[in-house]
Structure 1
Amino acid sequence: MADAVADFFWKRLAEWGVKTIFGYPGDGINGLLGALQRNDLPFEFIQVRHEEMAAFMATAYAKFTGEVGVCLATSGPGATHLLTGMYDAYSDHVPLLAIAGQQARNVNGAHYQQELDLTSVYKDVAAYVQQAASPASVRHIVDRAMRIAKAERKVAAIILPNDLQDVPYEAPVRKHGNTFSGVGWTAPRVVPFEADLRRAADVLNAGEKVAILVGAGALHATDEVIAVANCLQAGAAKALLGKAALPDDLPFVTGTIGLLGSKPSSDMMAECDTLLMIGSGFPWAEFLPQEGQARGVQIDLAPEMLSLRYPMEVPLQGESAETLRALLPLLEQKKEGGAWRKGIEKGVASWWKEAEDRAMAKANPVNPQRVTWELSPRMPDRVIVTSDSGSCANWYARDLKMRRGQMCSLSGGLASMGAAVPYAIAAKVAHPDRPVIALVGDGAMQMNNMAELITVSKYMHRWPNKTWICCVYNNEDLNQVTWEQRVMEGNPKFEASQTIPNVPYHKFAELIGLRGIYVADPARMGAAWDEALASPVPVVLEVKTDPEVPPLPPFFTFEQVKNYMSMLGKGDPKERHLLVDTARQVLSSVLPGGKS
């Protein structure tokens, strides 16, 4: 029997090295699923609860492996459900291939059931999107989609009409109107010309107060960044996606930067005279030096990201590790123990003490910062940590001290809710021998993450290392938005939009074969983490946290403090607590000599 188009399709993806597919079935892809079943190919198909989760998992798989993440959905609503996860990959420059079904070619354009113009739907998010029209076209569509995804670290999409999937495959013939594509791509060595490296070195050598900012593009350049930082006697801050790029036990590493960042990161950027930015698209320019304050050098593989957040004097297109290795011999060793480096290290030490004080402060019942603070020293050496968006991301950003060999990520540029659990599942699929921890707010759990616990239950028996923990911050509040309403808008908490139901997440876990642990006593927090890490089955660790512990930014503007103070007296349901306890923390960040 001759191969159908669907048979050829999977065999071609196997030639490209694809091993894992995250998806959900439907009649628009029945031909693809049949071919996947009957062919002996090295694929693992992960059945999710919702197509959006498939795309999140494919994105995270790409982040944790460096390979192209692949997600699969049926036509119509299945195809549109992929979009949020596809935009997550797009925003974080992650290689992803989305495969979607389509109605039969004869009814395309007839307003048929589940027939959508998917080429137009995907056009904004995908660098390459094609709907196959004939058997021979499938070969070059697959090859080009994979090559673009791998080489450009972008999203590609392939749309396959359901009738085309089952027809016999026909190879292109040698005549006009045909093309013969091939499999394979090898990463080039991308390094700037020496003259441009020398221009960058001149700027960095002239700097007396050098600040470094690293992002996801520096995750594989840890040794090179440390060498450059020590040569320049610089401090180094980390964007959220670059949190694992530098270990936090280095005294000159100031931690994360931005709204979720640390005070020493903000202080360093406010005082530096030179900025070296490596592999980062960090979005909040107000946390970078003021325009004209510092001379800038930037290294990024994507030329469209150069000189985008700060006007760089020397923007260099290049791979981070290779470019830093080429740059290092041109840099002059600055004197060790200078005032700039000493000041940074003093600020870092002070910050970690302040973070501990904040984490151990009394709350009702559990301080959410303590949840992550207690986890930090207990994290296994090879752990992978994921975080959702929301107030839990503040504690993830500030309180986890990353060590070498550990990995972590979240939805960065898109900052989507609902990504932590699918990210954690993908981490376990990619590295089944590594422990995995997801930090999730109760809003994201109710939105879409609870259902994916069923996926954990379905696949946990395949994992040689069973350590998989979902930590839920249960505060019955959409907390990040509540605080944004208070501080940015000067409005009290809007209970109709912000208060969410109290759900026993740990009991749901037990219903589906996982272990549930519940914590409402702060003194038990450390022991609960020990129990979860020692569990022989995946765990949902539910912590009853205080929603009135503010996710403080590293500094407040006068306008934000004015908004916050104007909000008091407008009827916030927690007004007394805000007046007595929280206002003291907010004001301490702007009053001279204030301490939280």
Structure 2
Amino acid sequence: MTGGPKLVADALVERLRGWHVEKLYGYAGDGINGLLGALGRAGNRPEFIHAVHEELASFMATAHAKFTGEVGVCTATSGPGAIHLLNGLYDAKLDHQPVVAILGQQPGVALGSGYLQEVDLAVLFKDVASDFLGVMTHPAQLHHLVDRAFRVALERRAPTAIIIPQSVQELPAPEGLPHEHGFQHSGIGYSAPRILPREEDLRRAAEVLNAGKRVALLVGAGALQATDEVIAVAETLGAGVAKALLGKAAVPDDLPFVTGSVGWLGTAASNWMMQECDTLLMVGSSFPYTEYLPREGQARGVQIDREAKTLSLRYPMEVPLVGDSTETLHALLPLLERKTNTSWRQETEARVAAWWEEAERRAAQPAQPLNPQLVVSELSKRLPDDAILSGDSGTAAVWIARNVRLRRGMKVSLSGGLASMGSGVPYALAAKINFPDRLAVALVGDGAMQMSGNAALLAVAQRWQTWADPRLVIVVFNNRDLNYVTWEQRVMGGTPRFGPSQNLFDFPFARYAELLGLRGVRVDAPQGVAAAWDEALSADRPVVLEAYVDANVPTLPAELRPGQRDHLEQALGQGDPDAVGVREQLILQGVTEKT
């Protein structure tokens, strides 16, 4: 800072640097003019990342937390700016990510008068920032509000928020706080504790796991840092490992006993294992679709999670353990007995091998004009070891779950608990900003791309020339349909595709990218997919790869339950406009009824 008195906003910027914040995702507005001025005086440290839209800023902050393990920080002005942050902050809340939101507010003297853009932000944010929400009305609050926001975000793995009226931002910063009643003297710093169950509880868990003959592991995002421990436990118990969507990178897919994703988006191998296991070890996951877990009473259960509120929620666990995944598995491992009967492991590995063969068979099936699974299968073969993937909600998430074979060192994430559209491109952009020397790939549906992805491309065009490796590939599955919902209408509701709600404008995504100075590649035939990927991955700038795909390729489990099959037949028999193409693809993809 040079010249003039030190303001609250200057002290805020200093405190952010004290918490090692290097990036601040946001969008300008008069409610944070004090903060923006302070960033200018501080030489843009931390760096302000212009996010094109506040919702994109909060998604980027959430992705920052997911991909780096650090606190993500976002900021926006009062009123509509703050409102726009909410979606990405709920993404952080539901996926348990540490994010701090700094919110501007109208001058304190005007509050309560119905002033321009006046919104009761404390009420509005008290749910999404339920772990900590602070309102700064006096400069002396600065340090303890910022420090608590960061410490709570880290400890609770949750979003927190600080509301700072514009008038407070521009007040003189206190030079030191008096040692008087009410004044708080706060400090910077947080070290994560060891969270480990008691020895007797670990022994109870080991007894259950050692007694099992057909042990299955289900791991989620809470196991992302426990890769070696998960593998060691699975090897000792002769178990297969299934993955919830956010846990896809917890264990690599090239291990023969890793069955892949589970549930509606899952593989045939994972869903078979859940149906046939006699013991379930659930690690760092609150996988919600209980119909894809073992039937109650079928399997004995052990669960590991940092939060007691998640334990024994989806399945009645015999031994629920509050603990960090890495620490708990490491402590549990010496208590486990190596299985001598390998028949369960052999059957699991055979099912895994059969699934990957089936996935390739499905990807090779003809479609009009192009099978989306082929696009993802060809990408998977070309990914470098350090690639970072993001996906949007919808059909893109299905193809990531089933068709991408992750290897150790890769990262992938999506909007999981919230499952929000519009997250894929800002996730990839945040990954690229934080890892500018690594390839980032976003898989996005045309609905999500039209919703906000096209706007996020402006930020890509603005920043890409600063990256050590300019490659950021955004794959858009252009099927002119809100396709995942279309299939939900058929299979969950028994209603035919409803065009007025599902039809999308046929937007020229690749041509639009070219207008922004990026590379656009369009593919609409199977023989062109490999060459399209080679062109995209060797480009000297970010690429939008527009895949013109068939909306009739089903995003369904390999086996439909009888009720689901009945709903689908009902929908197709009631005038679904795509019934002929859908029936053809159901046969080609081998979707059958579960008996």
> In structure 1, what is the equivalent of residue 320 of structure 2?
315
Closer, same or farther: CA 72–138 of 1 in aligned 2, 3 Å: same
Q: Which moved more, 1:545-554 or 1:90-99?
A: 545-554
Aligned twin of 2:435: 431
Q: Separation in 2 of the partners of 1:526 and 1:586?
A: 21
Determine if contact 2:389/2:412 at 8 Å carries over to the other structure. Answer: yes
Alignment of structure 1 residues 195-594 onto 2, 5 Å: 195-335=200-340, 338-579=342-583, 581-584=584-587, 588-590=591-593
Judging changes above 3 Å, is the alpha-carbon distance between structure 1 residues 587 and 246 closer, same or farther for their aligned structure 2 residues?
closer
- 49, 54, 69: which one pairs with 1:51? 54
Where does structure 2 lack aligned partners over 5 or more consecutive residues?
Answer: none
**Aligned residue identity for 2:106:** Q
Which moves more between the two structures, 1-10 or 405-414? 1-10
Deviations 1:554-587 (A, max 9, x none): 32111111111112232211122234x0343587
Quick check: 1:561–1:587 contact (8 Å CA) kept in 2?
A: no
- In 1, the alpha carbon distance for the partners of 2:167 and 2:196 equals 47
Q: Is the 8 A contact 2:227 2:250 kept in 1?
A: yes
1:591 CA drift (Å) = 6.9
Amino acid at match of 2:503: T
Give the letter for the 2:555 counterpart. Answer: P
CA contact 2:226–2:325 (8 Å) conserved in 1: yes
Structure 1 distance, partners of 2:17, 2:270, is 45
**Residue 577 of structure 2: SS of its match in structure 1?**
coil
How many residues were matched structurally? 590
Q: Per-residue displacement from partner, 1:153-190 (whole Å, max 9, x unpaired)?
A: 11100111000101101243211111111110111111
- Matches of 1:437 and 1:388, distance apart in 2: 11
SS in 2 for 1:426: helix
Q: Name the residue aligned to 1:80.
A: 83
Compared CA separation, residues 136 and 519, structure 1 to 2 (3 A)? same
- Kindly state the Cα deviation for residue 588 of structure 1 after the two structures are TM-superposed: 4.3
* Cα separation, 2, equivalents of 1:327 and 1:576: 54
Question: For the residues of structure 2 that align with 1:551 and 1:78, how far apart are their CA atoms?
Answer: 36
**Pick aligned residue for 1:113 from 106, 111, 116:** 116
Q: What is the one-letter code of the residue matched to 1:551?
A: T
Q: Deviations over 1:4-52 (max 9, x none)?
A: 0000011011101111111000001100100011014641211011100
| Aligned residues of 2:201 and 2:319 also touching (Cα < 8 A) | yes
CA distance in structure 2 between the aligned counterparts of 1:323 and 1:587, rounded to whole angstroms: 41
Per the alignment, in what secondary structure is the counterpart of residue 82 of structure 1?
Answer: helix
Which of 154, 163, 180 is 1:150 aligned to?
154
Q: Distance in 1 between matches of 2:408 and 2:307?
A: 26
Paired AA for residue 290 in structure 2? A
Corresponding residue SS for 1:181? coil
- What letter corresponds to residue 488 of structure 1 in structure 2? M
TM-score (norm 1): 0.97
1-structure distance, mates of 2:409, 2:571: 45
* Alpha-carbon distance in 1 for matches of 2:234, 2:548: 41
Distance 1:211 1:94 in 2: 27
Give the alignment's Cα RMSD to 1 decimal: 1.2
Q: Pick closer, same or farther for the CA change 1:591–1:174 going to 2, 3 Å.
A: closer
> Matches of 2:281 and 2:558 in 1, distance apart?
21
CA distance in 2, matches of 1:400, 1:578: 24
Asked if structure 2 preserves the Cα contact closer than 8 Å seen for 1:258 and 1:554, the reply is no
- Report how far residue 152 of structure 1 moved: 1.3
C-alpha distance in structure 1 between counterparts of 2:585 and 2:548, whole Å: 19
Amino acid at match of 1:147: R
What is the match of residue 15 of structure 2?
12
Deviation track 1:301-330 (CA, whole Å, cap 9, x = no partner) reads: 122211111111111111111111111000
2:24–2:73: 8 Å Cα contact kept in structure 1? yes
Task: Report if the CA contact (8 A) 1:14-1:41 is conserved.
Answer: no
Shift in Å, 1:131: 1.1
- SS of the aligned residue for 1:458 comes to helix
Letter paired with 1:449: G
C-alpha distance after superposition, 1:199-231 (max 9, x if no partner): 111111011110000111111111110000000
Q: Whole-Å Cα distance in 1 between the matches of residues 488 and 591 of structure 2?
A: 19
Task: State the alpha-carbon separation in 2 of the partners of residues 325 and 346 from structure 1.
Answer: 28
The answer on 1:26 being equivalent to 2:24 is no
2:74 is matched with which residue? 71
Q: What letter corresponds to residue 538 of structure 1 in structure 2? A: P
Q: 1:586 to 1:378 in 2, by over 3 A?
A: closer
Question: Structure 1 CA distance, aligned partners of 2:558 and 2:126?
Answer: 38
Q: What SS does the aligned partner of 1:136 have?
A: helix
Sequence identity (%): 55
Q: Hey, what does 1:103 align to over in structure 2? A: 106
Please tell me whether the aligned partners of residues 223 and 283 of structure 2 are also in contact (alpha carbons under 8 angstroms).
yes
Look up the SS of the partner of 1:7 in the other structure.
Answer: helix
Structure 1: state its 5+ residue gaps: none
TM-score (norm. length: structure 2): 0.98
For the Cα contact (< 8 Å) 2:553–2:586, is it kept in 1? no
What is the alpha-carbon distance in structure 2 between the residues aligned to residue 588 and residue 26 of structure 1? 52
